[in-house]
A = this chain, B = another copy of it.
Amino acid sequence: MGSRLRSSGRNLLEIIYKEENKVILDALHERSYRKRHLLFMPYHKEDLVCIVKTGKLRMYMGLEGKELSLSMLGPGDIFSTHSRAYVEALEDTTILACPVFKFFKAAMERQEFMLPLLMSLGDILTGALSIIERLYFHDIDKRVAAFFYEEALLRGENSTDGMRLHVGLTVDNIAKIVGSSRQTVSSLISAMEKNGIMKKLARGEYLITDMEELRLTALPCAE
């Protein structure tokens, strides 16, 4: 998901497991959590930098029952606890955590690590700007279409009757990602089926029957 707050890549994990970058790995401590565990609340008092080792996390903001998913984090992704976001485990997960300043000191000694780290931070900021842009400038029909279009580009599989897409998310989950209500997203998916663009096969499974029409619907939200 290109518009999400995450750095894209396993670079960070590969780098810290190199022998010459041992100082960084030594600064990090493993923590494991079970599925559904709420790892961090907003303004967590420990000011940590964390790297996901295995598993999957969801970072989101919430207020009065309403939620906005900021990102789905996987292995190699980095995040900090000094923010107003919740972090929950979507599956059993292991992270590598370190107090911020200790992390900085270690990172400062390894240029090989520092550059991808900065690039990761840059990616996260780009993702935040993308969320802002979408929420402010684009209506929800564009945002939903863009969501599916981008998912299809990333993980769609061609088949005889169209492009199969295993999203692995419920309609409610998708709604929290695109910043809308479940009911609205549901009816938009229904409309796309009526328009011959996409068909819901089962929970989390879709068939995109007209990729070009989906792209046009998503414009200019997805480009």
Contact = CB atoms under 8 A, between A and B. Distances in A.
Secondary structure of the A contact surface, majority rule:
helix
A61 B61 CA distance: 23
A66 B133 contact: no
B111 A63 contact: no
A179 interface: yes
Given A132-B68, A137-B61, A115 B104 contact: yes
Instruction: Say which size band chain A's interface belongs to.
Output: 20 to 34
Q: Chain copies in the assembly?
A: 2
Contacts of A137: 61, 63, 66, 68
B136 A68 contact: yes
Nearest to A131: B132
Interface stretch (A14-22, A26-34, A120-128, A153-161): A120-128
Those 6 A-B pairs whose CB atoms lie nearest each other, nearest first: A128-B128, A63-B137, A68-B136, A125-B125, A135-B135, A121-B121
Interface of A: 61, 63, 66, 68, 70, 80, 82-85, 104, 108, 111, 114-115, 118, 121-122, 124-126, 128-133, 135-137, 179, 220
18 contacts: A66-B137, A68-B132, A70-B129, A80-B122, A82-B122, A83-B129, A84-B129, A84-B130, A84-B133, A104-B115, A104-B118, A108-B114, A118-B121, A121-B121, A121-B125, A124-B125, A125-B125, A128-B132
